[in-house]
């Protein structure tokens, strides 16, 4: 019996006007190559997030889509939000 746990990012999506990045991480448990279980963890990163601790692929996507224009539009959106 050879149990193995693998954790990898299996999905990166760009959504919305402000290019939010949705990241899905899969945790897979296998026994002698046969999958026993799979679970997922999701997170959403907005363009004001510190992504320095994220996976290199996630950082590359963020750097590609979070232009100065996107960041400025997001900051304008946030500053126009009112609390009830």
Model confidence over 20-71: pLDDT tens digits? 999 999 999 999 989 999 999 999 999 999 999 999 999 999 999 999 999 9
Which has the higher per-residue pLDDT, 28 or 84? 28
Q: What phi and psi values does residue 12 have, to the nearest 5 degrees? A: -130, 125
Domains of the chain, by residue range, sit at 3-79
Residue 26, classified by CB atoms within 10 Å of its CB into exposed (0-12), middle (13-18) or buried (19+), is: middle
Q: What's the pLDDT score for residue 78?
A: 93
Mean pLDDT of 3-25: 97
Question: Is residue 84 very low, low, confident or very high in pLDDT (cuts 50, 70, 90)?
Answer: low
45: nearest Cα among 67, 20, 25: 20
């Amino acid at each position: 019996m050879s149990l193995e746990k693998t954790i990898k990012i299996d999905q990166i999506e760009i959504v919305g006007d402000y290019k939010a990045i949705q990241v899905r991480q899969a945790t897979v448990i296998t026994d002698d190559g046969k999958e026993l279980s799979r679970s997922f963890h999701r997170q959403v990163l907005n363009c004001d997030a510190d992504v320095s601790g994220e996976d290199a692929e996630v950082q590359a996507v963020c750097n590609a889509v979070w232009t100065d224009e996107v960041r400025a539009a997001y900051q304008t959106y946030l500053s126009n939000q009112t609390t009830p």
